[in-house]
Amino acid sequence: MTSGPGIRPRRLRTTEAFRRLVAETRIHPAQLVLPVFVREGISEPVEIASMPGVQQHSLESLRSVIADAAAAGIGGVMLFGVPETKDAVGCGATEEDGILNVATRIAAREAGDALVVQTDLCLDEFTDHGHCGVLDASGRVDNDATLERYREMAIAQAESGSQLLGLSGMMDGQVAAVREALDGRGFTDTAVLAYSAKYASAFYGPFRDAVDSSLQGDRKTYQQNPANRREGLREALLDVAEGADVVMVKPALSYLDVLADVATASPIPVWAYQVSGEYAMIEAAAAQGWIDRERAIEESVVSILRAGADTVLTYWALELARSIR
């Protein structure tokens, strides 16, 4: 039975051209951001076993990545540093010759106006305990002491040429603290991306391989409980009020409801991060021949955009952009 006289929705699905014409959601290369890992002390890229096709880059190979990203027309790159040495307060995050700051200067020079060069503003890659902040005497992450380190990191990254700082640490008040620090030093044009709804997820496992994480314990006292939906929206609206330029939901696929909530309420751009575990699952299933890899990649990113994301951070950014173009 049809729902009414002559009503046949299938008319709009009869050919590939028709389906393309009436598609409600499309992927554009400019909506994609490529996360890039840059490792100190290597001369050539190093494969990441749990993320097939993704590498830790040397400073030299970073130049090629930036050139490829610009040629593909993607929106930007998000840089993560992987240092040789770590300490309790993550000194390498703010040193002028720290790997992330050096990589940022190179990326900014190579990219010019073709890409938005973005940097991860968090301490977890640089601390020997692997947490996103400094610890107090009892071993807990000290929120306010961490904010002081974030202020210092913000200035170091802005001075190195980062155009957008990705605040991924989930400390209370981090957006306001970083915005104040940037403005106080004249970096009024440096934008802030708040990882607002960042959940304590099982899907970060491969990422920890990518940054050689030394995490001890877990991050459940500062990242969000996966059971909580309303809290994600609350966090995003708090970051908007503190002056964020963009808000983020992370992970993406397991939190499409939160993403839709934030996208509906937010007056500023909303991004989502398709994280390492989401990437690894599709790659692993495809390697076994259980799913169509290309279709699964496209469908997964379309679902994130359909839920309301304006931009997606994805390890498939270059591949998708090339296939679209």
Catalytic residues: 198, 250
Contact 89, 127 (CB under 8 A): yes
Distance between CA atoms of 255 and 38, rounded to whole angstroms? 28
Length of the chain: 325
Contact of 315 with 34, CB cutoff 8 Å: yes
Distance CA 76, CA 236 (A): 22
Q: How far apart are CA 65 and CA 38, in angstroms?
A: 11
Q: Pick from 23, 54, 66, 38: which is nearest to 274 by CA?
A: 54
- Taking the C-alpha atoms of residue 53 and residue 69, their distance in angstroms, rounded to an integer, is 16
C-alpha gyration radius of the chain: 20
**Helix or strand (DSSP H, E) at 178:** helix 174-184
Name the amino acid, one letter, at 275. Answer: V
Phi-psi category of residue 320: left, alpha or beta, with phi > 0 → left and psi -120 to 50 → alpha: alpha
SS3 91: helix
